Amino acid sequence: MAFQKLTDKTALTTAASDDLMHIVDVSDTTGSAEGTSKKITVSDLGNALGSTQWFTLQGAFFQNSAIFSYWPASGATLSESPYVAYSNLCPLPVAMRLVDVTLWVTSGGTRNETVNIYNFTTSGAGALLGSVTASVSSGQATRFVYDTSTFDFPALGEFAVGWTPSATPNGCSFSARFKLL
Number of domains in the chain: 2
CA angle 97, 99, 102 (to 5 degrees): 135
Does residue 98 share a domain with residue 134?
A: yes
Strand partners, 138: none
Residue 86, domain member (yes or no): yes
Radius of gyration of the CA atoms of the chain, in A: 22
pLDDT for the residue numbered 71: 37
CB 42 within 8 A of CB 19: yes
Does residue 150 share a domain with residue 76?
A: yes
Tens of pLDDT, residues 120-161: 765 556 678 898 988 888 888 889 999 999 999 888 888 888
Per-residue pLDDT of the chain (181 residues; tens, 9 = 90+): 567 777 787 877 777 777 788 888 888 889 889 888 888 877 776 666 555 677 888 877 665 444 443 433 344 443 333 333 455 678 888 889 999 999 887 777 788 888 888 887 655 566 788 989 888 888 888 899 999 999 998 888 888 887 766 666 556 788 899 988 8
CB 132 within 8 A of CB 113: no
**What residue numbers bound the domain in which 137 lies?**
54-180
Residue 1, domain member (yes or no): no
Q: Which residues contact 155 (CB under 8 A, 6 or more apart)?
A: 92, 93, 94, 95
Q: Other C-beta atoms within 10 Å of 59: how many?
A: 20
